[in-house]
Structure 1
Amino acid sequence: MADQLYLSLFFPNFRFDSLPATMVSVLRQFARISGIPRVSASAAYPVSFNEAPIYQRQFVLDQRAAESEDTSASIIENAVAEATELLHEDTAYEFEMKWNLWLPQPQGEIEGAELDILWKPIPTTVKFLGFGPDFDDSTFEQNGHIRVDFGLDTPWIIEDPEDEENDLPILSFEDEEAKAEAAKHIKQNIEMLLAFTLSVEKHCNISSRLLWTESGEPLAEKLIARLQRLT
């Protein structure tokens, strides 16, 4: 069953007024790995996520952005500066960026049948949340000063076709060539995840980090088990 994947980052002697600079540092590391150096959306949530955002902006990153005279707002430093212009201790600041992860795309539309698979790099959104000390009853104590939300762990796991709770189309990994192709691309996704995590550890002066899933199920064990079934 697909699970939500997070990375919690804690910083030594963290001061809230340093959040913008710290967020910029983390986003830069992500841009290095993804090759996409711009923010796609930003928002600020007061008190808790049950409240409507007090600030929200979407950025155009497709071909229209290249033709626009004003694309500078989506540059990491500018997007963070705008969203955090007024820092409030009861507010969470959210930034979205994208990277391309390999996912299987079935070729055909025969319901209930095993389909040929074409793996493609698909743009996938990652959310970065910086928490004010008073936001949602000091949720930063459990979630980190900055929490990275990778979305569902599907790109790193690709659940078995037999799993009835799996949302993916029916896939066939029966032949050795298909298994090798799946293992290759899942490993590429894992390498990107680890590269970003290690880059943050090396360049962002964190005191600790925690890669975790919403269910609490150990991610490392899931990754190893999935790759073993494909090799």
Structure 2
Amino acid sequence: MADQLFLSLWYPNFRLASLPDALAGVLRQFATVAKDGQTNSPFGRVVAASAIPIDWTEAPIYQRIYVNDERSETGEESIIENAVAEATEQLHDDTAYEFEMRWNLWQPDTAEGSDLGFDTAWKLEPARVKIIGFGPEFDAGSFEQNGHLRIDFGLDTPWTFETEEEIDEDAAKRIQQNVEKLLAFTLLIEKNCGISSRLLWTESGEPLAEKLVAKLQRIN
């Protein structure tokens, strides 16, 4: 069964004033992987930014959606540093700051009438990722459990594709490419972002690392 996938990050001696730099740092690592060597790739830009007060039931006090195509004259606003600076201009202890970006992942074809099985077709499609920084008082201080920053990858299907049938060679290759991209992002964060700890986890609590290892063993 598909599950929500998250990566939580904790920093040593973390303070609210350091949140913008921490967010920009993680966004830059994501952009490095998402652009996949393409200098002018739109995947290196912020798609949307929000500031949510108190807890997740509240409406955003700040929200902006960026245009990253030919309709955008310069695209300067969606550059990571500019988007983070604008969204976090007013830092509050009880606010979460959310940034949406995209990357290409191989996805199983779930079009109406298609069956997920041995001969499932896979397509390279944009996938949404949310990178969120938490003020220490947001949602009753839940950042102690959720992380000072949390990355929401959406459903784990691109990495742990579950089917009762054996997967074919093409599906195995696509899943492995997705896993490699996820691991590359995680390793860049470890190397460049000064974190003290991290946790890759699923909403159900099922140990993802074991699922990934089992999947890669079946593939190889």
Q: Considering only CA atoms, is the larger Rg found in Structure 1 or Structure 2?
A: 1
- CA deviation profile, 1:50-89 (whole Å, cap 9, x unmatched): 000101111112332xxx3241110000000010010010
Q: 1:113 to 1:24 in 2, by over 3 A?
A: closer
* Match 2:59 to one of 32, 42, 52: 52
In 1: Cα distance, 2:57 partner to 2:216 partner: 38
How many residues align? The count is 213
2:120/2:171 contact within 8 Å kept: no
Query: Which amino acid letter does the alignment assign opposite residue 50 of structure 1?
Result: T
Can you give the 5+ residue segments of structure 2 that lack an aligned partner in the other structure? 36-42
Question: 1:80 aligns to what SS in structure 2?
Answer: helix
Please say if 1:181 is aligned against 2:181: no
- CA deviation profile, 1:10-63 (whole Å, cap 9, x unmatched): 001111111001100010000000102100000000000100010111111233
* Match 1:95 to one of 95, 99, 102: 99
Q: Which residue of 2 aligns with 1:84?
A: 88
- CA deviation profile, 1:181-230 (whole Å, cap 9, x unmatched): 11111000000000000100000000000111111111121123334445
Q: 1:110 to 1:133 in 2, by over 3 A?
A: closer
1:20/1:80 contact within 8 Å kept: yes
The share of aligned pairs that are identical, in percent, is 63
1:44/1:54 contact within 8 Å kept: yes
In 2: Cα distance, 1:128 partner to 1:70 partner: 24
Can you give the 5+ residue segments of structure 1 that lack an aligned partner in the other structure? 163-172
Query: Normalization by structure 2: what TM-score?
Result: 0.90
Question: 1:136 aligns to what SS in structure 2?
Answer: helix
1:42/1:83 contact within 8 Å kept: yes
Question: 2:109 aligns to what SS in structure 1?
Answer: strand
Query: Which amino acid letter does the alignment assign opposite residue 194 of structure 1?
Result: L
1:106/1:115 contact within 8 Å kept: no
Q: Which residue of 1 aligns with 2:44?
A: 37
* Match 1:203 to one of 192, 200, 208: 192
Q: 1:10 to 1:73 in 2, by over 3 A?
A: same
1:43/1:57 contact within 8 Å kept: yes
User: Within 5 Å, which residues of 2 pair with 1:53-72?
Assistant: 53-64=60-71, 68-72=72-76
Query: Which amino acid letter does the alignment assign opposite residue 77 of structure 1?
Result: E
In 1: Cα distance, 2:106 partner to 2:74 partner: 31
Query: Normalization by structure 1: what TM-score?
Result: 0.86
Q: 1:24 to 1:179 in 2, by over 3 A?
A: same
- Give the drift of 1:114: 7.0
Q: Which residue of 2 aligns with 1:170?
A: none
